[in-house]
Amino acid sequence: MKIGFIGLGIMGKPMAINLAKSGHELFVSDHHEEHIKAVEAVGGHGADTDTIAKEAEVVITMLPNSPQVKEVMLGKGGLAEKMHAGQVFIDCSSISPIASQEVAEALSAKGIEMLDAPVSGGEPKAIDGSLSFMVGGKKEVFEKYKSLLEAMGSSVVWCGAVGAGNTTKLANQVIVASNIAAVAEGFMLAKMAGVDPNTVYQAIRGGLAGSTVMDAKGPMMLSGNTDPGFRIDLHIKDLNNAIEAAHACGAPLPLTAEVMEMMQFLHAHDCGKLDHSALARYYEHLTGEKLSEKD
């Protein structure tokens, strides 16, 4: 299958590499030439958007946020002007479901189908091809291209109409953010009460408090590793979209709003580019205690 892929960042580059390795003919576009070369090294082709719109059966984007997706698709000279009926657009970016619906409506007028298919799993799972896809769009379009997404992920779930994928992703990000904050809070309680947080982690990880989030982010907090798998600034973006979507439908998000304030504090203190496990630093600031000797 001929595929166009736009956006080769932390997530997009390994996703595109996995598509190329799976045997698809891949045309890629990005602002960074070295990212394009990395995909070319496994059989992809660097291309401009004109070529992508002409050659690709499916166009995939993996971009930072709603404005970038709308600009690439609907802006002056954007892909919506160049694509034709019968093509399919799959947006893997994590954006506002409202924006997804706006793009889908514009593309529908040209006979172009759309799936919003944001992912969860971070860079490690993008690299090993085990991402989780949450997909919105027509069921028959989803079924036709499910195997394409499976080249990049181990879980591909249809969630409903266009926008449902990003709504599901926002729910995911709300739960992840609150969970990370709770892990940091619990570890700090242990530290200040004189109990080794590493021991607490080992004792509780197999019980009801255990979670994928705790196993992924707890050791990072305890070792002082803040290398970004998913940056605080990106999680702020997602929580902004979650709060916007919540306001549109009247859903209460009090926990999300509190964690957003924690992340905004960290952003203001030059921690925005750190992994979101650095939420632990918020508690370190409040208490003056350190969870890791490395901090």
Residues with a catalytic annotation lie at 169
**Residue spans of alpha helices (H) in 56-163:** 66-74, 79-82, 97-108, 122-128, 139-150
Handedness of CA 21, 149, 229, 101 (dihedral sign): positive
CA distance 73 to 207: 46
Ramachandran assignment for 10, one of left (phi > 0), alpha (psi -120 to 50 degrees), beta (any other): alpha
Q: Computed over its alpha carbons, how large is the radius of gyration of the chain?
A: 20
Helix or strand holding residue 119 (H, E): strand 119-120
CA distance 216 to 79: 37
Say what the alpha-carbon torsion angle 192, 194, 195, 196 is, to the nearest 10 degrees.
80
* 293: number of Cβ within 10 Å: 8
C-alpha distances (whole Å) from 1 to each of 39, 59, 88, 148, 236 are: 16, 11, 12, 9, 35
CA distance 256 to 239: 7
